[in-house]
Chains A and B, each alone.
Chain A
Amino acid sequence: MEQLRRQSPEGMRLFYERYSGFLTAVCSRYVPDRADVKDILQDAFLQMFDAARRFEYRGEGSLKAWASRIAVNRALKWLRAQGRLRRVEDLPDVPEEEVGTLEKVPPAVLQGFIRELPDGYRTVFNLFVFEGMPHREIARLLGIKEDSSASQFFRARAVLAKKINLYIKEHE
């Protein structure tokens, strides 16, 4: 961390090696295209290197959360700049299902299911589930109504539940 604060090339390289895989996964949850993920992560890493001297280190978890927050903010900024958060694609109205044993589904498969969601639904789902944001905050962040955020989340969750159950059923 000290090397990163001093912006030494070695510190940057170590930080990149430790967190690039995790941050790629985080960013890919928001932006499916790999070339776009590369652009976003490039900006995110540069921002992290620049902001490292102001970061107050409180353990490994705090560093990971801080890096993740920067990557997510960069992804949101990119989505907003592309106008993809305003694009509304209706998901089919799927009745909500109970989900079986979630642990049976590999994370890569879950990641793939999330990535298949339309941009708006995927963003709301990620912010609510992974970033722990309430709908009021999500609505403010994305410039949508709170009801719309909740509605998109419920639809996304229903679609994912159906896909997860189907996967479990196929692999039992």
Chain B
Amino acid sequence: MSEKWTDKLPSLMEGYEEAAPEGLWDAVRAGALPKRRFAPWLYAAGGLVAAAAVALAAFLWRPVAVEPSVVSSVVPGEVPSVVPGEVLAETLTETAAEPVREQNEPQTFTEAPEQPVREQNKPETLTNVPEQPIREQNEPQTFTEVPDSFTEKPKARTKSRRKRVELQLSTGAYLAQAASLSSGYGIPYSPGMDTKADSPSPTVPMLSRNRPSTTEGSHRQSLRLSLGVSYAFAPRWSVGSGLTYTALRSDYATTSGNTVTYATRHLYYLGVPLQMQFNALEWKRLSVFVSAGALFETAVGSRLNTRAFIGEQQASESQQFPSVKDLRWSLTAGAGVQYQLFRYGALFLQPGFSWHIPNGGDVESYYSLHPCSFDLTFGYRFTF
């Protein structure tokens, strides 16, 4: 019965196998590993968490300011019951002899608040406090007196916070290059880019279709320009943001038989940084600072130039502007020095470190191949 023989076919063919097409495993492996995508919201959440962590750290480690409630509890004619007058007198005496306190040192009601120098404002004491030579900026006040200049900033603080807003122009570069090497059939790609043909040059796949090829790539950052503004929200601390423009360059050389294709691709990114800075040291015109933050970037364009050679002869040349989608978060940290050139201008140099958080995308670039990188930034700051 003819019905029967087709029934037998599945069991007859069950164990039948054929050799897999050549290069299949390489293609599968190459496609499988970068396919691990993270959800975009995960990147956004990661970036926000990083920014929040930086902000929280800045908040927790900020200098402790004078608590108005503590001082305001000391009013004329009222003596704090917990501190006897004699003890207070001793304390005040000691206070008078002490050097200028750090502006961020916690103050209690037993201490006299720092005052600007007031020549005709001799201290009035409850008890006989030995006469002390007048020390600049450290003239003791009686505990009963509410300093009329209390609301004024101490001198040291005034100096630190005088320049509250800074405008910054800078440029920088990563200190290393990244390299890639891939093998396959035909010219592999322009990874992650919406090119008309699935290759750097539309002519090349036809020349090298189904022929083994090797692609070597080198990747680097060709340019980064930044314009930023920062605001000193506390002595030594400032927070800043702005706009960055980055160009990444990738050079590919693909060899397939006697066909060689050279492709140069530029990826352009616009970014918004969020950074926290701490002035760790100030000495004359020099200051040393550390900073940390996050940078969000999105690819805004690309350019792809290719030249194909068959033997010694150039077979084609083309330029394309493929669209590319790449959103990226980076965490940054650095330490730098700044030299105050003029009253309102300073030069700075900042070595730094960036971690470009993998986004699971298939855009091959310096960011994806060299996620951890050191960079050097220099620029000019206008301070107001």
Mark A residues whose CB is within 8 Å of B. 7, 9, 12-13, 16, 20-25, 28, 34-35, 37-38, 41-42, 45-46, 49-50, 96-99, 102-103, 107-108, 110-111, 128-130, 132, 157-158, 161, 164
Contacts and interface: CB of A to CB of B under 8 A. Distances in A.
19 contacts: A12-B28, A12-B32, A13-B25, A16-B25, A21-B20, A22-B16, A24-B20, A28-B18, A38-B22, A41-B20, A45-B28, A98-B1, A103-B12, A107-B13, A107-B16, A108-B16, A108-B18, A129-B9, A130-B13
A132 B12 CA distance: 15
A132 B6 CA distance: 11
Nearest to A12: B32
A167 to B, nearest CB: 13
Given A35-B210, A99-B2, A110-B13, A46 B20 contact: no
Contacts of A12: 28-29, 32
B17 A24 contact: yes
Nearest to B3: A157
B210 A41 contact: no
B277 to A, nearest CB: 41
> Sorted from nearest, which 7 A-B pairs have the closest CB atoms?
A21-B17, A38-B21, A107-B16, A20-B20, A99-B5, A45-B28, A24-B18
B16 A102 contact: no
Given A25-B16, A25-B17, A20 B2 contact: no
Interface string B13-42: 101111111111101110111011000000
Contacts of B32: 7, 9, 12, 45-46, 49
A68 B290 CA distance: 58
B130 interface: no
B21 A129 contact: no
A37 B21 contact: yes
A171 to B, nearest CB: 16
A9 B36 CA distance: 12
B284 interface: no
Nearest to B23: A38
A7 B36 CA distance: 9
B10 A161 contact: no
Given A102-B5, A102-B8, A130-B13, 19 more contacts: A9-B32, A9-B33, A22-B17, A24-B18, A25-B16, A41-B21, A41-B28, A42-B28, A46-B32, A46-B35, A49-B32, A98-B1, A99-B5, A102-B12, A108-B16, A110-B12, A110-B13, A129-B6, A157-B2
Nearest to A42: B27
Contacts of A164: 5
A25 B16 CA distance: 7
Residue among B10, B12, B15, B20 having the largest count of chain A Cβ atoms under 10 Å: B20
Contacts of B28: 12, 16, 41-42, 45-46
Contacts of B15: 107
Contacts of A42: 24, 27-28, 31
Contacts of A161: 2, 5
Nearest to A99: B5
Contacts of A38: 21-24, 27
A93 to B, nearest CB: 15
